[in-house]
Amino acid sequence: MKLLQSWLLLLKVIVVLGSLWILSLRSRSTASWDPIYIARYSWLEYRDADGGPEKVCNCSAILQGEREALEQAKLLTITKDFQNSIHIPDEYYINATQDCWKFKVSRKYFAVPLSKEEEEFPLAYSMVVHHKVQNFERLLRAIYAPQNIYCVHVDKKSEPSVFSAIQAITSCFPNVFMVSQTVSVVYAGWNRVQADLNCMADLYNASTKWKYFINLCGQDFPLKTNLEIVRMLHSLKGGNSLESEKLPEQKKWRVTNGHEIVDGRMQETGKTKEPPPFNLPIMSGNAYIVVNRGYIRSVLKDNRILTLMEWAKDTYSPDEILWATIQRMSGVPGSTRPNRKYDMTDINSIVRLVKWQLHEGSQDSPEAVYPECQGSHIRDICVYGAGDLQWMLAQHHLFANKFDTDSDPIAIYCLEKYLRQRALSQLHYVH
């Protein structure tokens, strides 16, 4: 009898404590952005105890550019055992996301907005990927905030395991979704634009709250915390930031000669194109942009832009002219005049930091735009190494490209660790 009474008493205590816990959760949810609440959760920090082969590196020393730490990191990245140990198969994500709560907790995704300032300034992301699920998931985790919204486009040509893994990851988040219509992306073809257009339409129709649109690919990574991004976008005062310059002579063939996709590659048709509609001056830029919601509305609904897009469909690399040209059209929210005084280079915009091999050089070179790549090169673009981080974090750009966990996982590991520590430290200064 006494044993039964003891069990009943214990059961009552458990019920009372459980009720108090639920009430405390409810009360916290009404002030979810309160930094005091969030700061209690030390598990949100990335720690060496979390495991992972990269933990042997001294990220603090790497970020400060200390030679010994950088040399150790470089030696590690070329070690075969280390390379084998860092690879995560696609199947891992399919299995790990069977329990979404456990996956999100173990991967330390933020469950609440970190500040009221961020909560009131949601962002919309388009993410176009075709392989390397590990890269994608680390990028998503680095930019994830529950008030933002994310559209993911997986190339139609991607391996089934890639599609399944990314679909499994997105299914764990109410604000992350797969694009409603996928396309098969061909380098320099119109369908690269179409992939972003499909996400733009889905994002625009999914929510009326987001303020700015940012498009990314799977090998991008942020250089700023979400709070820092929000504040930089606030400072634009409704403007856009993207590369937009006069089209150089050596690129004019791209818009004067017709092109089409043949056997998965862009080829000239032999036909000369008509001049652009409305006498529009065609500008030069790139595929990646930071633009306000009104710009996206214009892209989807402005008849002038719809006509321009039809004209651009048989140009070479239309993503490198379209957004830049729209940015100089009158009436587009956040646009600027086509006069050359308003030209903006990729270095001056805040969108994306890319090191082109042609523009690299020593500190003493007057022609060099940036220091030499400390990683490797793919198609004349630097795939960043750990040695690039110190320089990179001193720049004003929001994102950088390219990163690759297969080439240098330490660069991503130290960068994401730095960003997480910075995001959590900012909680004390957001009031």
Q: What are phi and psi of 348, to 5 degrees?
A: -85, -25
Q: Answer whether 325's CB lies under 8 Å from 252's CB.
A: no
Question: Does residue 131 sit in helix, strand or coil?
Answer: coil
Separation of alpha carbons 43 and 46, rounded Å = 8
Residue 320: what residue type? E
Separation of alpha carbons 410 and 346, rounded Å = 26
Task: Name the packing angle between helices 133-143 and 160-170 (round to 10°).
Answer: 20
Strand 123-129 to strand 149-154: parallel, antiparallel, or no bridges (unpaired)? parallel
Q: Answer whether 108's CB lies under 8 Å from 423's CB.
A: no
DSSP state for residue 378 in the 8-state scheme: E
Chain length of the chain: 431
Give 268's strand partners. Answer: 259
Q: Is 343 exposed, middle or buried (0-12, 13-18, 19+ CB in 10 A)?
A: middle
Letter string b/e over residues 75-105, b meaning 16 or more CB atoms within 10 A of that residue's CB: ebbeeeebbeebeeebeebbebbeeeeebbe
23 C-beta neighbours (distance < 10 Å), count: 10
Catalytic residue among 320, 360, 367, 372: 320
Question: Does residue 374 sit in helix, strand or coil?
Answer: coil
Question: Does residue 362 sit in helix, strand or coil?
Answer: coil
**Owner of token pair 């969108």:** 351
Peptide bond into 224 cis (omega under 30): no
372 assigned to active site: no
Separation of alpha carbons 431 and 356, rounded Å = 40
Q: Answer whether 398's CB lies under 8 Å from 424's CB.
A: no
Catalytic residues: 320
